[in-house]
């Protein structure tokens, strides 16, 4: 235990505090070493205010969405300020750990209640979100989307080229869960077109599997952006490679119409959703690099948080629809229906392009709505 050599007279605490608080600023008071607060008296006087604040905090925490009346909010703010001032006094003049911990606890909770992290005061309006927020956010980051598609396309070209050079590589590239794609396309088409289609049997399960799998892939493509986008690009490239292999395989076997009728109805939503996941991942990557800004990492990430949420929600909605279409329409293989399926997929794709390109723009200027 270290013993102070100074021997400044220890004044009676409450008196000392009152006098010093009148005379000096907080900073100067902080440097007076030998003053001890009359803790018993201090706590007895202030305790009712602390307990009142603790009670208000308890009430608020039990109903997070509650909006307190103005009088209560004012009282809450007064009690917070009083508790904060008490904390300063206690740390400065007494340093008693137990009470300081209690006060720090309620001051921290009250501070958290009073100050939000911002940007969430606007109520969520679904129609506004669909017609403006999502498409505008998408367009705001179109470069990231273009890079996402570009990487996927390069992957697709790579897959097609690899298969052209060595067809035996197909089995190595196709993941186990898509093992049925290893079958020769013309054989599969012949088999599938002969099968009777049961519109419901097994479709719900298949649809659910597709939705959850694709949503996971899209979220993973986004969150992988945290590693400076490397894994996002790898995932996009890999998925592109698989699609490139499948497309080359079917086209080279003369099954282009089957392929289009099979993939377009759901792919027109599913692939853009994955590209949007990649777009979100690349936005994170840009924030990680911090190009063109002096902001700190936490500030850069905070700025993109809303956009990420918008994009991933939009992608998830697209995937839900894609899962339903893939289960109940895409798997129905009959040459009579190919034109209808291709037409449906084309209209869907066109509608999505128009929606993402135009929705939420001001007609007069063509700029995104505020």
Partner 1 sequence: MLGQTTSLEVRTLEGVTFSVPIASPFSRCLALAVDFAVVVALTLLISQFIGIFQSSVAEIPVIGSILSDFGAGATILLQFIVFTFYGMVTEWLWSGQTVGKRLFKLRVIDDRGLSLGVKQIVIRNLFRLLDILPSTFYLIGSISCLITKRCQRIGDIAAGTLVIREIEAKPPEFEEMLAPGENSFSTKPLLEARLRQNTSPEEARIALDAVARRNELSPDNRLHLFSQIANHFREVAEFPDEVTAGLSDEQYVRNVADTLFRRARV
Task: Report whether 288 contacts 229 (CB < 8 A).
Answer: yes
With CA atoms as reference, report the closest residue to 111 among 146, 76, 143, 137.
Answer: 76
H/E segment holding residue 284: helix 256-289
Torsion of CA 11, 14, 20, 21, to 10 degrees: 170
Size of the site for partner 1 (CB under 8 A): 84
* Sole binder of partner 1 in the list 33, 48, 292, 366 (CB under 8 A): 33
163, 169 Cβ separation under 8 angstroms? yes
Among the listed ranges 3-11, 66-74, 153-161, 358-366, the one in contact with partner 1 (CB under 8 A) is 3-11
Q: Residue 227 Cβ, how far from partner 1 at the closest point, in Å?
A: 9
Q: Which of 237, 213, 235 is nearest to 226 (CA)?
A: 235
Query: Binding to partner 1 by residue 330, rule CB under 8 A?
Result: no
Min dist. Cβ of residue 216 to partner 1 (A): 7
**Helix, strand, or coil (residue 368):** strand
Q: Interface with partner 1 includes 113 (CB under 8 A)?
A: yes
Distance CA 318, CA 257 (A): 24
* 209-228: contacts with partner 1 (CB under 8 A): 209, 211-212, 215-216, 219-220, 222-224, 226
Q: With binding defined as CB under 8 A, does residue 31 bind partner 1? A: no
DSSP string over 291-321: TT----HHHHHHHHHHHHHHHHHHHHHHHHH
Instruction: Using the minimum distance from each CB to partner 1, give the nearer residue, 224 or 359.
Output: 224
Contacts of 30 (CB under 8 A, 6+ apart): 92
Residues 252-281 that bind partner 1 (CB under 8 A): none
Which of 168, 198 has the CB closer to partner 1?
Answer: 198
Question: Which one, 26 or 367, has the nearer CB to partner 1?
Answer: 26
Residue 290 or 306: the one with the smaller Cβ distance to partner 1 is: 306
From 149-157, 166-174, 307-315, 359-367, give the range in contact with partner 1 by CB under 8 A: 307-315
Interface residue with partner 1 among 22, 23, 48, 64 (CB under 8 A) is: 64
10 vs 358 by CB, closer to partner 1: 10
- State which residue, 66 or 184, has the beta carbon closest to partner 1: 66
Is the Cβ of residue 4 or residue 70 nearer to partner 1 in the bound state? 4
CB of 38 to partner 1, least distance (A): 5
According to DSSP, the residues that pair with 368 across neighbouring strands are: 361
Q: Which of 283, 308, 319, 356 binds partner 1 (CB under 8 A)?
A: 308
Spatial neighbors of 301 by CB under 8 A, at least 6 apart, are 284, 287
The CA-based dihedral angle spanning residues 167, 172, 176, 179, taken in that order and rounded to the nearest 10 degrees: 10
Given the rule CB under 8 A, which of 117-125, 143-151, 165-173, 176-184 is the region that contacts partner 1?
117-125
- Give the other-Cβ count within 10 Å of 102's Cβ: 18
């Amino acid at each position: 235990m270290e013993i102070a050599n100074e021997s400044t007279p220890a004044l009676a605490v409450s008196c000392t505090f009152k006098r010093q608080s009148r005379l000096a600023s907080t900073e100067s008071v902080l440097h007076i070493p030998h003053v001890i607060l009359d803790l018993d008296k201090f706590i007895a006087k202030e305790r009712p205010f602390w307990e009142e604040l603790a009670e208000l905090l308890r009430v608020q925490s039990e109903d997070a969405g509650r909006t307190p009346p103005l009088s209560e909010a004012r009282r809450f703010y007064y009690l917070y300020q009083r508790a904060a001032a008490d904390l300063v006094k206690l740390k400065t003049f007494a340093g008693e750990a137990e009470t300081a911990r209690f006060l720090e606890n309620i001051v921290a909770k009250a501070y958290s209640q009073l100050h939000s992290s911002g940007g969430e005061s606007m109520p969520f309006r679904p129609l506004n979100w669909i017609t403006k927020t999502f498409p505008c956010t998408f367009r705001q980051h179109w470069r990231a989307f273009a890079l996402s598609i570009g990487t996927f396309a390069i992957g697709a070209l790579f897959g097609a080229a690899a298969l052209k050079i060595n067809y035996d590589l197909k089995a190595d590239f196709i993941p186990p869960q898509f093992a049925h794609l290893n079958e020769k396309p013309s054989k599969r088409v012949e088999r599938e077109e002969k099968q009777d289609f049961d519109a419901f049997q097994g479709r719900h399960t298949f649809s659910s599997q597709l939705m959850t799998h694709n949503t996971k892939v899209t979220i993973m493509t986004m969150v992988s952006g945290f590693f400076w986008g490397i894994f996002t690009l790898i995932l996009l490239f890999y998925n592109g490679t698989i699609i490139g292999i499948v497309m080359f395989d079917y086209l080279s076997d003369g099954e282009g119409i089957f392929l289009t009728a099979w993939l377009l109805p759901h792919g027109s939503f599913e692939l853009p959703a994955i590209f949007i996941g990649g777009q979100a991942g690349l936005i994170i990557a840009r924030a990680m690099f911090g190009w063109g800004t002096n902001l700190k990492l936490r500030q850069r990430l905070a700025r993109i948080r809303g956009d990420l949420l918008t994009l991933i929600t939009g992608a998830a909605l697209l995937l839900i629809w894609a899962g339903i279409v893939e289960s109940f329409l895409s798997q129905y293989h009959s040459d009579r229906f190919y034109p209808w399926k291709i037409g449906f997929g084309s209209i869907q794709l066109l509608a999505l392009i128009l929606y993402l390109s135009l929705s939420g723009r001001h007609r007069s200027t063509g700029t995104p709505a505020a």
